[in-house]
Structure 1
Amino acid sequence: MENRSLLSGTPLDGIDYGVYTASLMRRAAGAGLLDERALAAMQEGLLGLLRSQIEEITRGESSSVPAETADQLMDDIGYCIDVALKHAPTPQESLALLREHSMDALYRMGTGLLDREERACEGLLSRVRATRTPTVNEGYRILLDVTFPQYLRDWKVRRHPGDFVVLTEYPLAREVSASGIFGVRERLESLALENRFCGRFAPVLDGLLRGWARQNRTSPAEAYVNLFTITLQNLLLARLLGREDAALGAGERAGLEERLRPL
């Protein structure tokens, strides 16, 4: 077994996290930490995974599939292995995993981590729907009732887990760049916190939304705005006026914003 302490000072900087495994292999090979035999074994392991997945989707009736299908399968295999290796705290520990485990074992580690994320998403989705903010805003409703459930349904029926772009009809207060099932979880976590906050100000939230929509010449249902953000902004402005609630009239808000603008 490789002594991990020998890797603690290896030059593994500059790794491309978008193609983590391939980049790690290249950097390690360039630093003399992976020889040709090890690289060949890893490539053969990847091809073995591809062959087994082709047999799975063709039910053993064929050893070939269209090129685009093979490319997609290889992308998904690489994604799962990337997940396993990125889970290690440092590139040095990722390299130790790569040296000590077969590609099949790394693939199964990655799918296990992804399955764990999916289960967490199921629980978070139940929470955000149970604590949903009462609102006429359609983007918010679609996000909870259509978009997130559809992402999870698509994930469940996908034969081989892979990455995907997460697009939503409703903006969160905090920008989330993560993709795939990890991106779904981060967005659900953010929404769960926003719901907890907005729940304290539910009686005035529709009024705040109507005021924002009127100011931006749209309807409350079609407004592309984060409910937590407008609630927090109004609460802070109200506090500056010595008010205890978040309800702030449009005139009061405009006047206070004008006074604060020079600051």
Structure 2
Amino acid sequence: MANIEKRHIIDSNNLSGESYFTSILKEAYACGLLYDSDVENIQLQCIKFLAYKSERYNDGESSSIRVETAENIMKSNLYTIGLYLKSLLDVDCAVNELKTTMISEMYKKGRELINTKFHTAKHIYKLVQKNKLITLNYTYNATLNEKGIGIFFKSYDLDYEAHESPASIDYQLCNPVTDLAGVEFIQKYLENLCLENEFCRNFDAEDIHHLLCGYDEGYKDLLINIFEQVLIAALGCLLANRNVVKLNISGKDIQRLHNELSKYDDYTLALKIRKATEKMFEELNITGLSLRRYIEKSLPKITSTIVYAVKTNTLSKVFVSPINPDLKPKIHFLSGVKMGDEDYRKLIEELFICRYSHDKLALINEKVKSFDDLEDVLLDAQLSEAEITSIFGTLGDIEIAAMIRRHPFKSDIQAVDLSETEQALRLYLKSYIDQLAADRQEQIFDMVNHLICD
């Protein structure tokens, strides 16, 4: 009888991790564990405590504040209390606390927990910085720097905006953090990222770079999860009986693997992937329970992807062969000699005076003799989209490729770092490229991958 599990009236699946206080209050009332009088008492205490916090917010001068500010402070209060209630043994204990303990007392205990979690998250952030991957991926590096998630530890308001997560986080995890807010979200995000880094550090940074180049040579600008790509590659190597550490699987390996996996039903294929995972744990000596669980949590999505790829004969889109971009033949592009500063200034002044586009284009064609000068003119001469597009039309493929190399089509996330003229130039360039024939586009982008601009 001692092993009989205690049953609870409230279904914990109905409780919100992000708004725990509000959800448990609602569920407890719906289940008859709280009466009207209990709810009214709790609401009255919350309002009184809000007045107290508002007065402190105003340094004791007054409790009168803007409605938006008061709402934000209330959300912060409820989040803090909810954090404490979540820390209790079970939902029954949480409901009992609501009935017997003052709001101010629950807030005090929650505030202590927030302080502890804040310092824990800060410690994990330092660990993540230590096991950070060496990669070219923009969102990964931007998220991990001081202007990314580092903002949180300078801007987080533990007293009045505890439910907020002030940070710039664009890097997507393999297992996203959901239904959490405030310091809880940051702590969990960092814990997951630390585990992803721990796994990836079993492999050489150069091998990961070559793997991601095989996925897409422009991976540095993609919203891509590195851990997921490395895990998939590692499983692919084991399924193909290749060295898991090198993450190297050839096109022939992938074709043979497809022929073999096509013989299995979904269940048997999932079992083979599971066995490959166990073998990976053994070969990489992954013994940590947290990392093993995180990898296992990632398997359903990866398994579904592999099963679908086998059925649709697209396994080469899932398992990719590494590419070493340094071994590709290079095209050296020389810009030419730039004009002097005084001559360039006079050219820009003349372009400002010109009324007609054909006069501007003729002047540029006559005066501009180097690629660097042309690039400067496109940014400085306040030309229209039609004028810039006309100039693009006079360039050869190699010059267009050089323009793309210098002004790549960046994501919206990265474009915020650019000036308005730089953003406009990239937009016009992309529009020009998009209207070219597909074979010419392919030829130009192939040149981009081989180009060295001196």
Alpha-carbon spacing, 1:171–1:185, altered in 2? closer, same or farther (3 Å): same
Question: Is it true that 1:172 corresponds to 2:173 in the alignment?
Answer: yes
SS in 2 for 1:225: coil
Matches within 5 A, 1:126-205: 126-145=126-145, 146-155=147-156, 157=157, 159-164=159-164, 168-177=169-178, 178-202=180-204, 203-205=206-208
CA offsets 1:19-38 (integer angstroms, 9 cap, x no match): 44344445545665545554
TM-score (norm 2): 0.50
Q: Provide the rounded CA distance (Å) in 2 between the counterparts of 1:255 and 1:168.
A: 38
5 Å-filtered alignment, 1:204-219, equals 204-214=207-217, 219=218
Q: Secondary structure at the match of 2:177?
A: coil
Cα deviation, 1:16-66, whole Å, max 9, x if unaligned, reads 535443444455456655455544432332122111111112122222111
Residues 1-263 of structure 1: matches in 2 within 5 Å?
11-13=9-11, 16-17=15-16, 19-29=19-29, 33-35=33-35, 37-145=37-145, 146-155=147-156, 157=157, 159-164=159-164, 168-177=169-178, 178-202=180-204, 203-214=206-217, 219-244=218-243, 245-248=245-248, 251-252=251-252, 255=255, 258-259=258-259, 260=261, 261-262=310-311
Does the C-alpha gap of structure 1 residues 209 and 71 become closer, same or farther in structure 2, counting only changes over 3 Å? same
Q: Which has the larger radius of gyration?
A: 2
Q: Aligned letter for 2:215? A: W
User: Residue type matched to 1:138 in 2?
Assistant: Y
What is the DSSP-based 3-state SS (H/G/I as helix, E as strand, rest coil) of the residue aligned with 2:246?
coil
Query: Contact conserved, 1:234 with 1:253, CA < 8 A, in 2?
Result: no
Q: Is the 8 A contact 1:234 1:246 kept in 2?
A: no
Distance in structure 2 (CA, Å) of the matches to 1:57 and 1:94 = 28
Amino acid at match of 1:78: L
Moved more, 98-107 or 24-33: 24-33
Task: Spell out, residue by residue over 1:49-98, the C-alpha distance to the aligned partner (whole angstroms, 9 max, x if none).
Answer: 11111111212222211111111111111111111112223221111111
Structure 2: state its 5+ residue gaps.
1-5, 262-309, 314-454
Deviations along 1:180-227, one digit per CA (max 9) or x if unpaired, are 21111111111111112211212311101111114xxxx131122211
Percent identity, aligned pairs only, is 22
Q: CA–CA distance in 2 between the matches of 1:194 and 1:81? A: 31
Q: Give the letter aligned to residue 168 of structure 1.
A: I
CA distance in 2, matches of 1:181, 1:253: 45
Q: Which amino acid aligns with 1:227?
A: I
Deviation at 1:10, TM superposition (A): 7.1
User: Is contact 2:72–2:161 with CA below 8 Å preserved after alignment?
Assistant: no
Asked if 2 retains the 8 angstrom alpha-carbon contact of 1:81 and 1:107, the reply is yes
* Correspondence for 1:3: none
- Greater alpha carbon shift after TM alignment, 131-140 vs 55-64: 55-64
Distance 1:257 1:241 in 2: 6
Contact 1:80 1:161 in 2 (8 A): no
- 1 CA distance for matches of 2:124 and 2:233? 28
Matched residues in 1 for 2:23 and 2:247: separation?
Answer: 53
1:109-165, CA deviations, whole angstroms, 9 ceiling, x for partnerless residues?
Answer: 11111212111111111011111111111111011113211122221x454243236
Aligned to 2:334: none
Specify the code of the residue in structure 2 equivalent to 1:94: A
Q: Which amino acid aligns with 1:148?
A: I
Whether contact under 8 Å (1:204, 1:247) holds in the other structure is: yes
Q: For the residues of structure 2 that align with 1:195 and 1:188, how far apart are their CA atoms?
A: 10
SS of equivalent residue, structure 1 residue 221: helix
Change in Cα spacing, 1:195 to 1:33, as seen in structure 2 (3 Å) is closer
Aligned partners of 2:247, 2:234: CA distance in 1, in Å?
Answer: 7
- Whichever residue aligns with residue 169 of structure 2, its letter is T
Contact 1:237–1:253 (CA under 8 A) maintained in structure 2: no
Give distance in 2, aligned partners of 1:107 and 1:85: 10
Taking the aligned partners of 1:170 and 1:30, their CA distance within structure 2 comes to 39
Contact 2:236 2:249 in 1 (8 A): no
Contact 2:121 2:187 in 1 (8 A): yes
Change (3 A) 1:186 1:252: farther
The structure-2 alpha-carbon separation of the partners of 1:247 and 1:113, relative to structure 1 and needing over 3 Å to count, comes to: same
Shift of the 136–53 alpha-carbon distance from structure 1 to 2, 3 Å rule, reads same
